[in-house]
Amino acid sequence: MALILMKIGVKKMKQKINNIMNLMDSIEYGFKDENGENIINANPQKWDDEFYEFYYLQTPDELLKSKCGVCWDQVELERKLFQDNNIKFKTYFIYIVDNDMLPSHTFLTYENNNKHYWFEHSWGAYKGVHEYESELELLLDVKKTFINEHSYVSENCFLYIYEYQKPKKHITCDEFYKYIETQKLIKTNKPLYFYHLVNKDVDMNKGIISLQYMYDNKMHDLFDKNVEKYKDRILNDWNIEKYKGKSNLTREEYLDALNIFRGKYGTNYIYFFRYPPYKKLGNKINEIAKYKDIYRININDEKIQKSITDIFYGYDMSDSDNRLLDKKWYETISQKEYFSKYDDNLSMNFSTLNHISISFKNGNCPLDFLEKVDWR
């Protein structure tokens, strides 16, 4: 009897979903202008250049009347239809941050009989109901699909998924993105850890701080101590014409030189190794371990990514004549390969270890982004 009832329940649910999809089929993708024309067809240039200005979120009733809306609009109609049919559901907002580009998509999911379903109408190539064993599997598939459809974005872009509740009607694009930032951030990324050495006696209340942070917060003694190592490189090695022949540099000149040589985030960068050094590498590491601690950061943590303004993956062996490294290089290299060129006898023993440079919004990597790890 229980099996029969379950089959009836599944059949009824399927019929409800089919009815919702059939109703959604009356909606085309786009947005209508004051003349009732779909802008995406009538004026593609306006669609590309001015969407951010003319768009507002339609109500379900307005969408049923206009018969034309983007995914943001269509999910709100789906929300109403699922509620009317007493079907539990969730709505998600996925988007990529890549400089000024913010491609996004909204979608609805529901659960039935221990299966998870992605209900899709507006994204034409993927229209339908897609079944998964778990919610995570579903989200990872949507994420992979979304990334594949936006292959033009840069390597340093970040992708976020939010579960969100019903937004206010008629909100603009800008208001929608700001609203999403108040909703539940979903973490789907696998961890990718990088490591930083810090003197044991350092005050870590502000986390790890950059040269720019030291300068901006008038931490002059600490700034002077940390920039001294760059003096010879700026005057003799980096080929910066205006600093050739100088014997001393002001604090402002140090900052200027670093930004000239390393780009606009040069003074804001904080450096991280892919793997933590370990004592068996040599006597110098054993000595360093006596006065330094190791902290790690997960650069794939979505919350942390919200505070990152740039990641530079560097050149192999820190030599700009060598190949430019990328995130994939660090994801795939083994610990053994990473330390294969380490030489404990060099005066700058870490110079052969590739590292990444991270710029954080406020010039510091907050302590709650970091985890202290043991030298073992």
- 177-194 per-position pLDDT tens digit: 999 999 999 999 999 999
- Supply the pLDDT for residue 219: 95
Average pLDDT, the chain: 93
pLDDT band at 100 (very low <50, low <70, confident <90, very high): confident
Specify the amino acid at residue 125. A
Instruction: Give the CA count within 13 Å in the CB-facing half-sphere of 75.
Output: 27
Q: With the C-alpha atoms ordered 106, 369, 319, 241, is the resulting torsion angle positive or negative?
A: positive
What is the average pLDDT across 52-56? 95
Q: Please, which residues have CB within 8 angstroms of residue 370's CB and are 6 or more apart in sequence?
A: 196, 204, 207, 208, 295, 296, 297
Specify the amino acid at residue 54. F
- Does residue 138 register a pLDDT over 80? yes
CB 161 within 8 A of CB 92: yes
- Does residue 45 register a pLDDT over 50? yes
Dist CA 288 CA 277 (whole Å): 10
66: left (phi over 0), alpha (psi -120 to 50) or beta: alpha
- DSSP three-state, residue 119: strand
| H or E, element range at 95 | strand 89-97
In terms of Cβ atoms closer than 10 Å to its own Cβ (0-12, 13-18, 19+), residue 75 is buried
- Does residue 121 register a pLDDT over 60? yes
- 332-347 per-position pLDDT tens digit: 999 999 999 999 998 8
- Supply the pLDDT for residue 2: 47
Nearest to 254 by CA among 275, 271, 229, 277: 229
**DSSP for residue 225:** H
CB 294 within 8 A of CB 373: yes
- Does residue 11 register a pLDDT over 50? yes
What is the average pLDDT across 234-238? 90
Nearest to 368 by CA among 291, 279, 298, 282: 298
In terms of Cβ atoms closer than 10 Å to its own Cβ (0-12, 13-18, 19+), residue 209 is buried
Q: Please, which residues have CB within 8 angstroms of residue 181's CB and are 6 or more apart in sequence?
A: 162
- DSSP three-state, residue 231: helix
* 86 vs 376, more confident: 86
- 249-262 per-position pLDDT tens digit: 999 999 999 999 99
Dist CA 28 CA 70 (whole Å): 8
Q: Please, which residues have CB within 8 angstroms of residue 231's CB and are 6 or more apart in sequence?
A: 249, 254
**Site of tokens 């190791």:** 294
**Site of tokens 């951030």:** 185
Dist CA 82 CA 105 (whole Å): 19
Phi, psi dihedral angles at 183 (to 5 degrees): -95, -170
End-to-end Cα distance, the chain = 59
- Supply the pLDDT for residue 269: 97
Nearest to 370 by CA among 285, 282, 303: 303
Specify the amino acid at residue 233. R
- Does residue 356 register a pLDDT over 70? yes
pLDDT band at 9 (very low <50, low <70, confident <90, very high): low
- Does residue 214 register a pLDDT over 50? yes
